[in-house]
Amino acid sequence: MSFTTGQIVQEFGYDDDVDLDLRDAIEDLIGADLEDEDSQEIVDGVILWWRDGDGDLTDAMVDTLATLAPGAPVWVLVPKAGRDGHVLPAEIQESAGTAGLRVMSTVSLAADWTGTRLASRS
């Protein structure tokens, strides 16, 4: 995910189904707790847990940009195909474009979660 020690990472969409091992690994890597979605800190990256039915993905992506440092990544984490709440890659692509972001890569991040790295268009 390319996070490093000392960075501030904000988390959106936390719920009881998130991968706690992945969260812990990110916190261990940055050496701090994840900031919650109400934080007003300028952040070096965002993770957005998203499931089908959570609402409007474009609006959620735009919300992640409020305190995001220029050039910092947004990671959209969705349940893998075949899991409850799976979101199609085309929906992520379309929402990202509307929100002014572009898809950079998609990787498997945990047993049940896939992550899509987004970057701002600049």
Of the pLDDT bands very low, low, confident and very high (cuts 50, 70, 90), residue 122 is low
Say if strands 45-49 and 9-12 run parallel, antiparallel, or are unpaired. parallel
Mean pLDDT of 78-95: 96
What are the two backbone dihedrals, phi and then psi, of residue 35, each rounded to the nearest 5 degrees?
A: -80, 145
What DSSP line would sit under 19-33, residue for residue? -HHHHHHHHHHHTSP
Q: pLDDT for 12-40, tens place per residue?
A: 999 999 999 999 999 999 999 999 999 99
The residue among 118, 26, 117, 113 whose CA lies nearest residue 78 is: 113
